[in-house]
């Protein structure tokens, strides 16, 4: 059996309809507490996968309340060495229009107060100051880009992902600041997830879809209405993207 590919589902992917499950899904209990929801083991697009819903069943966990450490540890303990994280994001720059598929290459972390490392105490072992120069695994990023391009999705092959605290959406002034800082997209769950994956030795990349224009850039359209309309279209694209990329890993 090959190593399973870890998939973290976000707002844009609440479940994998086409997965053939291998037994009942249970909520893993790790040294850092329980994962957000059941870890689904199965086969998707001909590959072994482990799927976990980041926000839990029913989208009940706010971004700051997610047990990111437990989710990453559960995937690592299940044998995953590669993790694809699905994310719904807001578009800051003009190129990041609703519906755009984006594979970010950098992160700026504006979140706070989250358990962001496995090295909180000596039980984690010898302290490792991870190199986080490039927060996403280059080969996995390129595989996502190639698969999206092959489907005709015209992916944005690079973007800076600004991570905010949530659960509220941002003010227009906050988005203006983030654009000055160099952010292209905004979301609430990119960190500490990416950093923890690096600490755990996992290849991690983010497959994101822009579901709304960020605050102050909406052109008068209500943000929540825009999100719901785009999510309805994005779900099929995300699953097709996964079906295309998984056999190449």
Binding site membership: which residues? 11, 54-55, 188-189, 212-214
Known binding-site residues for phosphate equal: 11, 54-55, 189
Given a contact cutoff of 8 angstroms between Cβ atoms, the answer to whether 5 and 84 are in contact is yes
d(CA 88, CA 234): 9
Q: Which two tokens stand for residue 175?
A: 């988005």
Pairing of strands 47-53, 5-9: parallel
Q: Which whole-number Å values give the CA distances from 58 to 36, 150, 156, 190, in the listed order?
A: 11, 33, 30, 20
DSSP state, residue 156: B
d(CA 43, CA 14): 17
Known binding-site residues for substrate equal: 188, 212-214
Q: Is 33 helix (H, G, I), strand (E, B) or coil?
A: strand
Q: What single string gives the DSSP state of each residue in 234-247?
A: HHHHHHHHHHHHGG
d(CA 139, CA 153): 19
Q: Which whole-number Å values give the CA distances from 245 to 7, 47, 88, 225, 233, in the listed order?
A: 12, 10, 19, 30, 19
d(CA 139, CA 121): 32
């Amino acid at each position: 059996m090959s190593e399973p590919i870890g998939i973290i589902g976000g707002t844009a992917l609440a479940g994998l309809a086409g997965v053939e499950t291998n037994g009942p899904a249970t909520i893993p209990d790790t040294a850092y507490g329980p994962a957000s929801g059941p870890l689904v083991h199965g086969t998707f697009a001909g590959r072994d996968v482990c799927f976990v819903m980041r926000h839990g069943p029913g989208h009940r966990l706010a971004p700051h309340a997610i047990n990111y450490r437990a989710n990453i540890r559960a995937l690592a303990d299940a044998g995953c060495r590669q993790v694809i994280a699905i994310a719904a994001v807001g578009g800051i720059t003009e190129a990041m229009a609703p519906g755009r598929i984006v594979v970010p290459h950098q992160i700026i972390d504006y979140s706070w107060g989250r358990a962001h490392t496995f090295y909180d105490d000596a039980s984690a072992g010898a302290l490792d100051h991870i190199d986080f120069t490039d927060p996403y695994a280059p080969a996995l990023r390129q595989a996502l880009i190639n698969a999206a391009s092959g489907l005709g999705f015209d992916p944005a092959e690079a973007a800076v992902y600004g991570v905010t605290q949530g659960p509220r959406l941002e003010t227009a002034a906050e988005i203006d600041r983030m654009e000055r800082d160099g952010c292209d997209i905004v979301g609430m769950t990119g960190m500490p997830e990416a950093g923890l994956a690096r600490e755990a030795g996992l290849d991690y990349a983010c497959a994101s879809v822009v579901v709304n224009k960020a605050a102050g850039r909406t052109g008068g359209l209500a943000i929540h209405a825009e999100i719901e309309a785009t999510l309805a279209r994005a779900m099929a694209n995300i699953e097709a993207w996964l079906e295309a990329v998984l056999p190449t890993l």
